[in-house]
Structure 1
Amino acid sequence: MMAKLKFAWALFALTTIAGLIAYQMVEPGAQIPIHWNIKGEADDWASPLFAFFMLPGVQLISLLLMSALPVLEPRKDNIGKSTKAVQAIVFGTLAVLAAAQSAIIAAGFGYEPMGPKTIIAAVGILFVVIGNYMTKLKSNFFIGIRTPWTLSSDTVWKKTHRLGAKLFMASGAVIFIGSFLIEAPYLAGLVLGTVLPVTLFIIFYSWHIWRQEKSGRTIN
């Protein structure tokens, strides 16, 4: 799996190199903004070492975990059949972290941070990517819509992911477009108001389909 994630590893390397360059260039003792409130104002700071290498560290942990999936995943054949989807989702996740890294580096050198709007737009794109590949995921315990009902039935898994794919892509489009139209203080509400209802509905839907299957009713 590690070799199949080569583009994700390359993105991790670029993010880390950017952090190294920033660390060498920033003034010693500087405090770097690492978090912004809903108004787009920095409200937490850290040392350059933590600020510039925190997100590459998260990327590395994610990559190591994904690379170990063939060993950790009980349904190994299904993970093998889901390789392209896993590659795309992992790369998309790392790209969002890279966007956040860019925002932190820019803020560390006094530039107007890309901050909330850029990060939220990246999250929207990630949702579209996940939705686009969701139907290509086979049943597994690590990636996808993992409820007790989807994991207990391949039919429920497929049906839930077919609907989930459409809802994730629609949610991603709403979040992406909204990130440019809505002021920073309302971005958290945009994401929460979009993602929470979709998540709850998908969970309910997986249970509903499972109930249909259990009762012997036809599932299209």
Structure 2
Amino acid sequence: MTRRLSLLDLLTVAVFVVQTGFALHIGLNGPTQAVLPIHWNAAFEVDGWASGPEFAVLLGGLATIGLLAGGGLGLGALYAAAEAPSRARTLRIGQGIIAFTTAVLGLTLSAQTLGDLPPEGTARLSMAGLSLILLGAGAFLGRVAPNRLVGVRTPWSYKSRLAWDRSNRLAGRLLFILGLAGLFVAPWAPQPAATLSLIAAALIAAGLSTFESWRVWRADPNRQPF
């Protein structure tokens, strides 16, 4: 029996269709520049270039990865086979995060490549895009059940449900706060220091969440041994 497509399935397909359609437009109809910026260094100065068709392939490839990871060959297919409600919910959250991240990355990259921006403008766009991704992931991370795909996946969180729940709730809160703060300061904060600081803060949040999984596992009387 063919499974019925969910709203998230349709959203995943919609992101793919819009992004690949735009990529085809770029590849066939422009832009007029011989080369386009596609990569930036830590100071957000251009250090990588591509032709219009090459950029179209890059953008279409990003959309295809998002479709495969979140759609029929990825989390969407796993969701259809999931029996436990908690696993099904976790897979749906993962699918939503992938679709959202693919859309944000595609929009950010397109604006940076086609916008003819100075380094400061490129950095602000990068900070806004990263902040949106952190905000979206953080909003749902605390609701995922133990799995191998989404969340704070450490040896300790797999051996203690309490460690899993607390470390993922901490990660969700930290990422949500960072994303919200990043969106607020992106328009006026000094660049590239602000964007680099946001990246460093996200890495610190990951480290704190990893430590939290170990700390809670060690204190959990119901933990599983290694």
Superposition RMSD in Å: 2.9
Query: Contact 2:112 / 2:125 at 8 angstroms: preserved in 1?
Result: no
1:50 has 2:65 as partner: no
Residue of structure 2 equivalent to 1:117: 124
Q: Displacement, 1:60?
A: 1.5
Residue of structure 1 equivalent to 2:183: 176
From the superposition, tell whether residues 104 and 196 of structure 1 become closer, same or farther in structure 2 (CA, over 3 Å). closer
From the superposition, tell whether residues 181 and 160 of structure 1 become closer, same or farther in structure 2 (CA, over 3 Å). same
Query: Contact 2:167 / 2:209 at 8 angstroms: preserved in 1?
Result: yes
Q: Displacement, 1:174?
A: 2.4
Query: Contact 1:134 / 1:161 at 8 angstroms: preserved in 2?
Result: yes
Residue ranges of structure 1 left out of the alignment (5+ in a row):
none
Partner SS for 1:206? helix
Residue of structure 1 equivalent to 2:200: 193
Letter in 1 for 2:56: F
| Range 91-100 or range 196-205, more displaced | 91-100
1:132-147 superposed matches below 5 A: 132-147=139-154
Letter in 2 for 1:129: G
1:205 has 2:216 as partner: no
Cα offsets for 1:56-78 (capped at 9, x unmatched): 31232233123323559x98634
Letter in 2 for 1:165: G
Whole-Å separation in 2 of the counterparts to 1:188 and 1:2: 41
Cα offsets for 1:151-184 (capped at 9, x unmatched): 2222221121122221111111222223222233
Whole-Å separation in 2 of the counterparts to 1:173 and 1:92: 16
| Range 139-148 or range 36-45, more displaced | 36-45
Partner SS for 2:148? coil
Partner SS for 1:34? strand
Whole-Å separation in 1 of the counterparts to 2:31 and 2:96: 37
Query: Contact 1:34 / 1:45 at 8 angstroms: preserved in 2?
Result: yes
Q: Displacement, 1:98?
A: 1.7
Whole-Å separation in 1 of the counterparts to 2:100 and 2:53: 25
Aligned identity (percent) is: 24
Partner SS for 2:158? coil
Query: Contact 2:16 / 2:64 at 8 angstroms: preserved in 1?
Result: yes
1:97-108 superposed matches below 5 A: 97-107=105-115
Residue of structure 1 equivalent to 2:36: 32
1:8 has 2:15 as partner: no
Whole-Å separation in 2 of the counterparts to 1:53 and 1:158: 40
1:57-68 superposed matches below 5 A: 57-67=61-71, 68=74
From the superposition, tell whether residues 167 and 104 of structure 1 become closer, same or farther in structure 2 (CA, over 3 Å). closer
From the superposition, tell whether residues 99 and 169 of structure 1 become closer, same or farther in structure 2 (CA, over 3 Å). same
Letter in 2 for 1:32: L
From the superposition, tell whether residues 38 and 118 of structure 1 become closer, same or farther in structure 2 (CA, over 3 Å). same
Whole-Å separation in 2 of the counterparts to 1:2 and 1:19: 29
Query: Contact 2:163 / 2:217 at 8 angstroms: preserved in 1?
Result: yes
Query: Contact 1:175 / 1:190 at 8 angstroms: preserved in 2?
Result: no
